[in-house]
């Protein structure tokens, strides 16, 4: 299954995103049913929450797609007969992309210039400003706790990858 992730381009070809994210998920579910698969883990994106109304974002946060991409991720996510749960697998920590890039550059002892490609910018009012997941439900239901938490954890994890 192909995944389309470039959010700005979803404005130019929304049908492609619907086909991939909605119909693709339907194909996986139908095939799983035919093969007797008992459990499917459906992954999505924090984009489905839109701009945070509160931080950290819990699973009860309202869904608010701000782009065709995120709207297509919301479709096939809810079902009256659904057996599953929505569970955030985030870290409860937030950092900007720019700060992440600068941190990585510092850890590998290099200097970088961040350049913005205007073609990849989102239309006005579609940018999601903050993502910070409340991961307490994951800890409670599936005993999942991040191995690397917070700023120090990010540095530790990146340092391991770099090494």
118 inside domain: yes
Residue ranges making up the domain that contains 125: 7-162
Q: What rounded mean pLDDT belongs to the chain?
A: 80
Q: Looking at the 3D structure of the chain, how many domains does it have?
A: 1
153 SS3 class: helix
Q: For residue 20, is it within any domain?
A: yes
pLDDT digit string, tens, across residues 47-77:
788 888 888 888 888 888 777 777 777 767 4
Chain segment 80-100, per-residue pLDDT in tens: 433 467 777 778 888 988 999
Q: What is the pTM of this model?
A: 0.54
φ, ψ at 133 (rounded to 5°):
-85, 140
**Exposure class string for 50-78: b at 16+ Cβ within 10 A, else e:** bebeeebbeeebebbbbbbbbbbbbebbe
Residue 122 belongs to a domain: yes
């Amino acid at each position: 299954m192909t995944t389309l992730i470039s959010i700005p381009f979803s404005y130019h070809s929304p049908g492609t995103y619907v086909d991939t994210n909605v119909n693709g998920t339907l194909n996986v579910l139908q095939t799983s049913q035919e093969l007797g698969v008992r459990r499917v883990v459906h992954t999505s994106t924090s984009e489905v929450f839109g701009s945070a109304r509160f931080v950290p974002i819990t699973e009860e946060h309202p869904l608010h797609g701000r782009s065709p991409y995120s709207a297509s991720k919301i479709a096939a996510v809810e079902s009256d007969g659904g057996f599953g749960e929505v569970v955030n697998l985030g870290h409860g920590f937030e950092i900007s992309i720019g700060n992440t890039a600068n941190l990585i550059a510092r850890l590998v002892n290099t200097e970088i210039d961040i350049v913005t490609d205007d073609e990849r910018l989102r239309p006005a009012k579609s940018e999601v400003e903050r993502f910070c997941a409340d991961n307490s439900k994951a800890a409670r239901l599936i005993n999942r706790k991040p191995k690397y938490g917070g700023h120090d954890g990010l540095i530790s994890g990146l340092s391991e990858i770099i090494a």
